[in-house]
Amino acid sequence: MRIRAILGVMLAMTLAGCGLNSVPTAQENVKAKWGEVQNQYQRRADLIPNLVATVKGYAKQENQVLTNVTEARARATSINVTTDDLSNPERLKQFSSAQNQLTQALGQLRTVVESYPDLKSNTNFLALQSQLEGTENRIAIARRDYNQAVQAYNTRIRTFPDAIGAKVFYGAKPMTPFEAQAGADKAPTVNFGS
């Protein structure tokens, strides 16, 4: 009887060291971080149209840039990524591409502000500029936090002893980190000529 108790305790300790609790905890952390990335994109999608509508009256000569922002926002919100898609690099690439198009359109908008100082004097435009910067910073932080959670999860499911529980009990697969699009390291070309 005593041997069974000792074996039971040893088995419980062995299983506890195999990621039975830590793997799902890490997986849920990744999903929560991805939720925050989506939350920040949604915040941007909800906030920008209202701010742009306010500023649009003051920036008629730059109507095309504002239209590009609105259209890019529509494309960005048309692609949704669920936590089930986190292991699908192609789906994340599509999502990232749509979000990067919006980021580029917002970059053009910021350039317009710098080129037309008259627009800067308007308090609505200054508020838009501040909100855009803050929003993009929030998105960058959410992406960073997501990538850190993915790194921790992927490391956990690949290292001993958690790798045993991850494979045997959960069939865990690595999750895909957020990646910038090719060419994102280069500043966009701005041309006001045509």
The pLDDT assigned to 27 comes to 87
Higher pLDDT, residue 118 or 127: 127
* Secondary structure letter of residue 189 according to DSSP: P
Query: Quick one: CA dihedral 34, 40, 46, 52, positive or negative?
Result: negative
- The stretch 147-158 carries a mean pLDDT of 90
pLDDT digits (tens, 9 = 90+) for 27-48: 888 898 888 888 888 888 887 7
Whether residue 194 is predicted with pLDDT greater than 80 in this model: the reply is: no
Q: Read off the amino acid at residue 5.
A: A
Q: How far is residue 66's CA from residue 135's CA, in Å, rounded to a whole number?
A: 17
Query: Where do we find the tokens 């949604």?
Result: 42
Q: How far is residue 103's CA from residue 87's CA, in Å, rounded to a whole number?
A: 24
- The stretch 10-36 carries a mean pLDDT of 75
Residue 60: pLDDT band (50, 70, 90) is low
What domains are defined for the chain? Answer: 40-141 (1.20.1440.20)
As given in the structure block, the two tokens for residue 57 are 């009256």
Chain centre to alpha carbon of residue 168: 30
Mean pLDDT (the chain) is: 76
As given in the structure block, the two tokens for residue 92 are 């994340």
As given in the structure block, the two tokens for residue 70 are 């609105």
pLDDT digits (tens, 9 = 90+) for 173-186: 888 888 777 766 66
Helix (H, G, I), strand (E, B) or coil at 118: helix
Are the CB atoms for 107 and 188 separated by under 8 Å? yes
Whether residue 124 is predicted with pLDDT greater than 90 in this model: the reply is: no
